[in-house]
Amino acid sequence: MSLKIIHGNNHWQLMRNAFFTLVVATLLGSCAIKKSEQVFVRQDDVERLIRTLSSDEMQGREVFSPGIEKAAQFIESEFKSIGLQPLPGLKSYRQEIIVRTARPLATDVTVAGEVISAQHALVISDESSVNWSEKDNIPVHYVKAGESFASRYRAITALNKPAVVFVDESFFDAFKRLRDHHMRDRVFDPSDQRPSTVYILTDNDSPATFSVSFRNQIESSSMSNIVGVLPGKSREKEMVIFSGHYDHIGVIDPVAGDSIANGADDDASGVTAVISLAKHFKQQDDQERTLVFVAFTAEEVGLVGSKYFSEKLTPEDVAAMFNIEMIGKQSMFGKNTAFITGFERSDFGKILQKNLEATDFKFHPDPYPQQQLFYRSDNATLASLGVPAHTISTVQIDKDEYYHTVDDELSTLDISNIQATIKAIALSARTIVNGSDTPTRIPPVKN
Ligand SMILES: [Zn+2]
């Protein structure tokens, strides 16, 4: 560059230009967003992902259905186009799980010689048959009138032993809900087989004799979690997990001719967040820790996919889990808000709040503690192993009229709020992704 000598007011002109350049540069400098604070999540892409995953073509994505296979292939193609790697040790994004399915066939129960109707008998079993009587020394339990059926059920299940449970007839409704939940096709992981338990609704509070004859049709089947990885730059052994579940409840009883439960909110919105976050962090390309993006299968039939995935990991290697469940509509706190389950169990939530202080998005503690959401979603297994694994959601669980219905459709969702929530997760996760923050571990649950 050559310098010419200049005289008089030109000198001032030059000074003024230099001054203005300086001002503009400073301004640009200050408002130039650091790459680490840029978020690459486009609204039209969010809409495209949810529209595809919740389309009628996916037939409500029930496990073992052609619809869920289509969804799996779609998620794989997104992971491929982003350029994610398979989990170490796997050749593809599919983490295959060989499970067993149990279909109850016949139940015959008598109490003190009296035949019990099928509606009053519930057998929860992973075995092909159960044939018991009072002579078999099976532990016997009672649920008396006035007790809490739910906590008795949890206590008996936690014993993890074979059991016969006589339940007072005043619990008919709770018993029916439990029976409806268990007496359908069930999926279980053979390595996680449970002892059989039999619940009998009766007004006989101390029967001397009983008999149970039960048959199950047991089959082996395969299903897959879809997993993609962005290896860490410097702390690759430490993982940060972003997850949602891609299964839903499939085809259900028709309402006005519509029988497809599209699951746009539950949980196509969460899987959309997982894919969008993978795209964002790939573009950021500054992850110090390894990022793992997972679409779980079989959440609706007992958290089978996340249990299997979690048990394959070393919990100490997992720095945090962001499980994203139902972010389709505004939370009870209004626009640009979401809640975190188990907020009080680690400082995970506080770290996220800190990282969003300069934005208009706010994370809140779970407003529905009585619903026990912390234990009911795909974060539960890793959380029980001490990992700061939490679910992020906006669901208004106490009044969501579309939950598990044919009306959980794209048209009921707030796409701009979903985009804002995904952006908030991306921004709030950055100090955990770059390793400058490490959330505290979840204390083990005292039984
Ligand atoms: Zn769900």
The residues spanned by each domain of the chain are: 37-85+231-433, 101-219
Asked whether the predicted pLDDT for residue 1 surpasses 60, the reply is no
Instruction: Give the Å distance between the CA of 213 and the centre of ligand 1.
Output: 35
Instruction: Give the Å distance between the CA of 384 and the centre of ligand 1.
Output: 19
Instruction: Give the Å distance between the CA of 374 and the centre of ligand 1.
Output: 13
b/e sequence 142-175, b meaning 16+ C-beta within 10 Å: ebeeeeebeebbeebeeeeebbbbbbbebbeebb
Instruction: Give the Å distance between the CA of 351 and the centre of ligand 1.
Output: 25
Higher pLDDT, 189 or 10: 189
pLDDT band at 108 (very low <50, low <70, confident <90, very high): very high
What pLDDT was estimated at residue 39? 83
What pLDDT was estimated at residue 335? 97
Sequence-separated (6 or more) residues with CB below 8 Å from residue 442: 342, 345, 346, 383, 386, 387, 388, 389
Instruction: Give the Å distance between the CA of 377 and the centre of ligand 1.
Output: 7
pLDDT band at 40 (very low <50, low <70, confident <90, very high): confident
Instruction: Give the Å distance between the CA of 274 and the centre of ligand 1.
Output: 14
Instruction: Give the Å distance between the CA of 295 and the centre of ligand 1.
Output: 12
Q: Give the integer Cα–Cα distance in Å for 359 and 351.
A: 14
Asked whether the predicted pLDDT for residue 339 surpasses 50, the reply is yes
Question: Which residues lie across from 197 on neighbouring strands?
Answer: 124, 163
Minimal CA–CA distance to 111: which of 50, 41, 169, 189?
A: 169
Question: Which residues lie across from 199 on neighbouring strands?
Answer: 122, 165
Instruction: Give the Å distance between the CA of 273 and the centre of ligand 1.
Output: 14
Instruction: Give the Å distance between the CA of 100 and the centre of ligand 1.
Output: 22
pLDDT band at 54 (very low <50, low <70, confident <90, very high): very high
Higher pLDDT, 295 or 160: 295
Asked whether the predicted pLDDT for residue 35 surpasses 80, the reply is no
Q: Give the integer Cα–Cα distance in Å for 118 and 434.
A: 57
The reply to whether CATH 3.40.630.10 applies to domain 37-85+231-433 is yes
What pLDDT was estimated at residue 372? 85
Q: Where are the alpha helices (DSSP H) in 36-171?
A: 43-53, 66-82, 149-159
What are 139-158's pLDDT values in tens digits? 999 999 999 998 999 899 88
Asked whether the predicted pLDDT for residue 171 surpasses 60, the reply is yes
**Average pLDDT for residues 420-429, to the nearest whole number?**
98
Instruction: Give the Å distance between the CA of 172 and the centre of ligand 1.
Output: 27
Instruction: Give the Å distance between the CA of 144 and the centre of ligand 1.
Output: 33
Instruction: Give the Å distance between the CA of 386 and the centre of ligand 1.
Output: 23
What are 241-293's pLDDT values in tens digits? 999 999 999 999 999 999 999 999 999 999 999 999 999 999 999 999 999 99
Instruction: Give the Å distance between the CA of 409 and the centre of ligand 1.
Output: 14
What are 5-33's pLDDT values in tens digits? 344 456 667 677 776 666 665 655 555 55
What pLDDT was estimated at residue 185? 76
What pLDDT was estimated at residue 4? 42
**Average pLDDT for residues 218-228, to the nearest whole number?**
94
Q: Which of 68-77, 182-191, 398-407 has the lowest mean pLDDT?
A: 182-191
Instruction: Give the Å distance between the CA of 298 and the centre of ligand 1.
Output: 10
Instruction: Give the Å distance between the CA of 191 and the centre of ligand 1.
Output: 24
Instruction: Give the Å distance between the CA of 228 and the centre of ligand 1.
Output: 20
What pLDDT was estimated at residue 314? 95
Q: Which two tokens stand for residue 195?
A: 């002892």
Instruction: Give the Å distance between the CA of 23 and the centre of ligand 1.
Output: 52
Q: Give the integer Cα–Cα distance in Å for 124 and 126.
A: 7
Instruction: Give the Å distance between the CA of 400 and the centre of ligand 1.
Output: 13
Higher pLDDT, 144 or 192: 144
**Average pLDDT for residues 399-416, to the nearest whole number?**
97
Instruction: Give the Å distance between the CA of 104 and the centre of ligand 1.
Output: 25
Instruction: Give the Å distance between the CA of 176 and the centre of ligand 1.
Output: 22
The answer to whether the CB of 123 falls within 8 A of the CB of 179 is: no
Instruction: Give the Å distance between the CA of 269 and the centre of ligand 1.
Output: 10
Q: What percent of the chain has pLDDT over 90?
A: 79
**Average pLDDT for residues 213-231, to the nearest whole number?**
95
Higher pLDDT, 205 or 57: 57
DSSP for residue 331? B
Instruction: Give the Å distance between the CA of 22 and the centre of ligand 1.
Output: 53
Instruction: Give the Å distance between the CA of 179 and the centre of ligand 1.
Output: 21
Instruction: Give the Å distance between the CA of 193 and the centre of ligand 1.
Output: 24
Instruction: Give the Å distance between the CA of 320 and the centre of ligand 1.
Output: 20
What pLDDT was estimated at residue 25? 59
Q: Which of 7-11, 130-134, 253-257, 327-331 has the lowest mean pLDDT?
A: 7-11
Q: What is the mean pLDDT of the chain?
A: 91
Asked whether the predicted pLDDT for residue 447 surpasses 70, the reply is no
